[in-house]
Structure 1
């Protein structure tokens, strides 16, 4: 048995969200110039007197009120709030068309007990596991038979037919000869540590944005002149995320016993890089190619191995994990002091990966790899997505749309029109249009972006370099 140690160095090219399951509401934060201020509620309430507590409780019970307005009406409590700042997020909140700031619930980023954001090792290991599984499926045609058998047994549950495939891929080690029912998951041989604490200054509030594919005629949207945005939809979903350009490092330990169970895959630095590169190539060919890419900005994105500096990574002491800052000798990658390490520490080529929540369906699942042709993939994935997000239509108002969905081979579901308090129609359908995926040539037909300030970025996109340590 041998153990290999690697360092995975990420740089966020788009915002990365890893949630803790909690949300900030409009009573938990307020705008201050171009900053978002998150209130330390416990500290704030400890500073209030009895009358102020009564006013604050009344405010909390009023569902329509926002913290921003409450503090403006109560300047004495505004001063106390300024002394009770948990942290500031340097990104402006989105504004409505008339200029008013919009407050919505925000999914919170995971933090340590001291309030510092960090990247859990479990999130990185999940990304690696998905990439390894996708590589396996691309090379194993028998997995399609397991998928078809699972669908045949449970045709109503097309979202989770993966139990047999997961067993084939990962439940391979049988530690007991006497009891063959005992099976270990071979990913136990891969350990990923949490990252070091990051800074709250690394956080932004990212607004969800769905970008339409380049072949989408967008004929479902009303023409409202210059106010109509035909390239995508802004959604009132916010995620607290790492901003573009943040550097994150996690340590990975691989027990080489896993190599015996991975046909053709060796999880060394080059092997991990190759697995992730193949996953990205598949994603790019089967999904990204159907979208016009937006320009990305604000990412430093400087390749670690080509910056001309020594590649030596400090192994111990207070500077452990940091690179030497000396100039490398031409062609070696190491400075004169660290020439002895040339060939012992290695850096993989830079690869693109997608990390965290809110990323595309294709980055979180592997079902697309089960199908040999694009037509098969489109047919299967569109139906999986429609099962999860069916078209709901008020037939009395959208009879033509109802018939169009049926003609495409899908069954729409009834929907009762909703009205505003003034009697005006608010909504008469809930249509994610997955019945059109095959026609548009890509499933799903939207790509997950997000908006920070006035810039759009692909959600979860990172560049990654793997180093042996």
Structure 2
């Protein structure tokens, strides 16, 4: 009988991390007031508006309106217009950081905001499948020599590595972050009209990994070294071309998670065929070279790594900074430690 072993996997986000649930908050579904983005519970909002029939009718008309003027009216603007001041509406709020928009853009004028995945209690978490996919990428590019291991059936090594969902996270760990692309042939990163709920840099996330059999346990025991090896490949293939002022120096077993981290953090380098990808891609979307760098902005964070205090972002973060303490990050970058629970 094969032995079961449990490992504690502790992830530290070194940059904003986005794990989406496939849904978005529309512009009429949140309120920006008092330096917060507030996402009310619409059932509670409707019940309170129903106490005053005129306000209820105005709200229904507002949601169904197709007139341009009302269509562009934000929820906060509408509630102020009908003199509805109650904000005890359930839901949750995310503090403004100043990194949500580009220079000169009203903080209340975001596009749709992609939602971070949450559990039935409304708490953000990282699904085990997301972490397992990142582990699989590391192993494919290091331990398996680019050859696909056995998937499916009794010899499925991936089946023998079982990753739990993370422990629930506090809503205060969320920030709102904008997507930026950086082309090395241009002087500055380019902001894109895509905004997401993300975990803030240096959030601690805890998982349990259960292995079945010696091979799976050996793979997890060697995962830190494998992650360092994959990062060297990623750096040589792609990251070396990123301007040093946008790179995060100082890491401990890097791993990239979630949406927006880019092709090269998820690829099997031995099997990727760029010529085929380009041939199958419409001309206007065709990737040039190795593609563009995926960045985002957030507040600078200082942390201690092996007793050395380091910044997660470079001091010079580009000309477009909205505030002195805002900097660019590599989207989805994290680090981790993993130990067998008997040793914890």
TM-score (norm 1): 0.60
1:120 matched residue in structure 2: 127
Structure number with higher relative contact order (C-alpha < 8 Å, ≥ 6 residues apart): 2
Of 223, 239, 248, 1:288 maps to: 239
Sort the Cα spacing of 1:40 and 1:382 in 2 relative to 1 into closer, same or farther, 3 A: farther
Q: Whole-Å Cα distance in 2 between the matches of residues 44 and 72 of structure 1?
A: 14
Alignment equivalent of 1:266, drawn from 205, 218, 222: 218
Residue 203 in structure 1 maps to residue 174 in structure 2 = yes
The equivalent residue for 1:255 is: 212
Name 1:186's counterpart in structure 2.
Answer: 157
Equivalent position of 2:261 in the other structure: 359
Shift of 1:231: 1.7
1 or 2, which has the higher helix percentage?
Answer: 1
1:68 counterpart SS class: helix
1:240 to 172, 194, 197: 197
Counterpart of 2:329 (choices 444, 448, 457) is 457
Q: Residue 240 and residue 362 in structure 1: after superposition, are their counterparts in 2 closer, same or farther (change >3 A)?
A: same
DSSP-derived class of the 2:138 partner = helix
Higher gyration radius (CA): 1
Deviates more, 1:184-193 or 1:196-205: 184-193
* Residues 1:268 and 1:101: Cα distance change in structure 2 (over 3 Å): closer
RMSD between aligned residues:
2.5
Instruction: Note the alpha carbon deviations across 1:334-367, whole angstroms, 9 max, x for none.
Output: xxxxxxxxxxxxxxxx30111111111011221x
Instruction: Give the aligned partner of residue 169 of structure 1.
Output: 149
Match of 1:44 in 2: 45
Helix, strand or coil for the counterpart of 1:169?
coil
1:252 Cα deviation after fit: 0.5
- Kept in 1: contact 2:278–2:286 (CA 8 A): no
Is 2:12–2:334's contact at 8 Å kept on the other side of the alignment?
Answer: yes
Deviation at 1:51, TM superposition (A): 2.0
Q: Which residue of 1 aligns with 2:89?
A: 84
Quick one: structure 1 residues 172 and 68, their matched pair in 2 at CA, closer, same or farther if it must change by over 3 Å? closer
SS in 2 for 1:186: coil
Where does residue 294 of structure 2 map in the other structure?
448
Q: How does 1:71-150 map to 2 (within 5 A)?
A: 71-76=79-84, 79-80=85-86, 82-91=87-96, 92=98, 93-94=100-101, 97=104, 99=106, 101-136=108-143, 139=145, 143=147
Closer, same or farther: CA 35–106 of 1 in aligned 2, 3 Å: same
Cα offset for 1:296? 7.0
Deviation at 1:170, TM superposition (A): 2.3
**Within 5 A, what are the aligned runs for 1:216-235?**
216=185, 218=186, 230-235=187-192
Check 1:354–1:193 CA distance in 2 against 1; reply closer, same or farther (3 A cut).
same
* C-alpha separation in 2, matches of 1:98 and 1:238: 13
Rounded to whole Å, the distance in 2 between the matches of 1:69 and 1:95 is 22
Q: Which residue, 373, 377, 384 being the options, matches 2:277?
A: 384
Q: Which consecutive unaligned segments of at least 5 residues does structure 2 have?
A: 66-70, 300-325
Higher strand share: 2
Q: C-alpha distance in 1, partners of 2:276/2:151?
A: 28
Alignment of 1:14-29 (within 5 A): 14-29=15-30
Given that 2:102 and 2:191 are in contact with CA atoms closer than 8 Å, whether structure 1 keeps it comes out as no
C-alpha contact 1:30 1:67 (8 A) present in aligned 2: yes
Q: Distance in 2 between matches of 1:201 and 1:88?
A: 8
Report the 3-state secondary structure (helix = DSSP H, G, I; strand = E; otherwise coil) of the residue aligned with 1:457: strand
Change (3 A) 1:99 1:89: closer
Query: 1:291/1:98 Cα in 2 relative to 1: closer, same or farther (>3 Å)?
Result: closer
Cα distance, 1:203–1:296 mapped onto 2, change above 3 Å = farther
Would the alpha carbon gap of residues 2 and 245 (structure 1) be closer, same or farther in structure 2, given more than 3 Å must change? same
The alignment covers a number of residue pairs equal to: 305
CA change 1:357–1:289 in 2 (3 A) is same
CA 1:89–1:258: 2 relative to 1, 3 Å: same
Counterparts of 1:249 and 1:4 in 2: how far apart (Å)?
17
Partners of 1:294 and 1:433 in 2: how far apart? 27
Is the CA contact (8 Å cut-off) linking 2:127 and 2:165 kept in structure 1? yes
The TM-score, its normalising length taken from structure 2, stands at: 0.81
Taking the aligned partners of 2:36 and 2:214, their CA distance within structure 1 comes to 50
